[in-house]
Amino acid sequence: MITRQWHYFDAKDQILGRLSTQIAILLIGKGKVDFAPNLDGGDYVVVTNSDHVKLTGKKELNKLYYSHSNYPGGFKTISVHEQRAKDSRRLIIHAVSKMLPKNKLRADRLQRLKVFPGSEHPYGKK
């Protein structure tokens, strides 16, 4: 039987990469005694204040996220600054997603990640 715990992170003044690695380890369940790479035994993670997450150096202006719609002329770029203004939750979700193993369990693990732009969330201390 898999027992899942709830972990709460406040992203205010936290560095994006360091926060994302801690979250990815919890979602995978690597810190658990009964860890198995073929089982999804990770925990739930709630992140608040995604608006206030920090990046080092000049990444706020220079880092770009790329996407393509698979249609001609569908290549799009968006900077971190633009993404933060549009939806700051995507910064953390994207960083954690790239740190998870690329396998069939990835989508289920990302479903257990709950990110909120402010300090309010419906998941109380459980």
Residue keyed to tokens 């990110």: 115
Verdict on whether the full-model pTM lies above 0.85: yes
| Beta strand pairing call for 6-10 and 113-115 | unpaired
The CATH H-level (homologous superfamily) assignment of domain 6-54+88-115 is Ribosomal protein L13 (3.90.1180.10)
Question: What would the pLDDT profile of 51-75 be if each residue is shown by its tens digit?
Answer: 999 999 999 999 999 999 999 999 9
Whether residue 92 contacts residue 20, with contact meaning beta carbons closer than 8 Å, is answered with yes
User: Under 8 Å CB-to-CB from 79, ≥6 apart: which residues?
Assistant: 61, 62, 63, 64, 65
Question: What would the pLDDT profile of 71-115 be if each residue is shown by its tens digit?
Answer: 999 999 999 999 999 999 999 999 999 999 999 999 999 999 999
**Rounded to whole angstroms, how far apart are CA atoms 23 and 48?**
13
